[in-house]
Amino acid sequence: MFAVVRTGGKQYRVAADDQIVVEKLDGEAGSKVTLEDVLLVSDGGALKDAGKVKVMAEIVAQNRGDKVIIFKKRRRHNYRRKNGHRQYQTVLKILSIA
C-alpha cells in the first residue's frame, strides 16, 4: 500500500516505514506529524479515493541540505556575484497510511 502526498509544494510517493526528506515542517525530533494533503492511495493495484485518508509520520531530524552556489556574471562588464544557500529540511519516517 502506498500513497502520494503533497507537502512543501512537492509530491512524494510514500509507504509505511519509508524515510523522506521534505521542506521544513514545524516540530521537534520525535514528534508526530499528520500529512493531510493526500492525492492518491493504492492498495495492491487498485487506486482508491484519497478523500479522507491521512498519513501519519514522525520527525526524525531537522537539518539543512547541501550548499547551492549561485554565481552571476556579465561578460565584459566586470560584474561577478557569488552567493550560497542551504535549505532547511525535515526528515520524516512514515508510520501509517489510514
d(CA 22, CA 49): 24
pTM of the model: 0.85
| 43: pLDDT strictly greater than 90 | no
State the CB neighbour count (10 A cutoff) for residue 5: 26
What range does the domain containing 21 cover? Answer: 2-97
**Number of domains into which the chain is organized:** 1
- Contact status, residue 96 vs residue 57, Cβ threshold 8 Å: no
Grid cell of 48 as nine digits: 482508491
Query: ∠ CA(15), CA(10), CA(19), 5° rounding?
Result: 35
Rounded mean pLDDT, 42-66: 90
Cell digits of residue 10? 512537492
**What value does the mean pLDDT take over residues 39-44?**
89
